[in-house]
Amino acid sequence: MYLILVLVASAFSIWASFKVNSTFNKYSSVMTRRGLTAAQAARMILDENGLRNVEIEAVSGNLTDHYDPRDNVIRLSDSVRNSTSVAAVGVAAHEAGHAVQHAVGYVPIKIRNAIVPVASFGCRFGPYLIMIGLVMYYMAFADIILNIGIIFFAASVAFQLITLPVELNASGRAIKILGGSGYLDQDEVPAVKQVLGSAAMTYVAAAAVSVANLLRFMAIAAGRRRDD
95 catalytic per annotation: yes
Measured on CA atoms in the order 30, 35, 40, 45, is the torsion positive or negative?
negative
CB neighbourhood size of 197 (10 A): 15
Q: What number of CA atoms fall less than 13 Å from residue 157's CA on the CB side?
A: 17
Q: Measure the CA–CA gap between 227 and 13, rounded to whole angstroms.
A: 34
Sign, CA torsion 15/32/49/99: positive
Could you say which of 55, 95, 167, 188 is catalytic?
95
* Burial class of 124 by CB neighbour count within 10 A (0 to 12, 13 to 18, 19+): exposed
Cβ(189)–Cβ(21) under 8 Å? no
- Rounded to a whole number of angstroms, the distance between the first and last alpha carbons of the chain is 22
Catalytic residues, by residue number, are 95
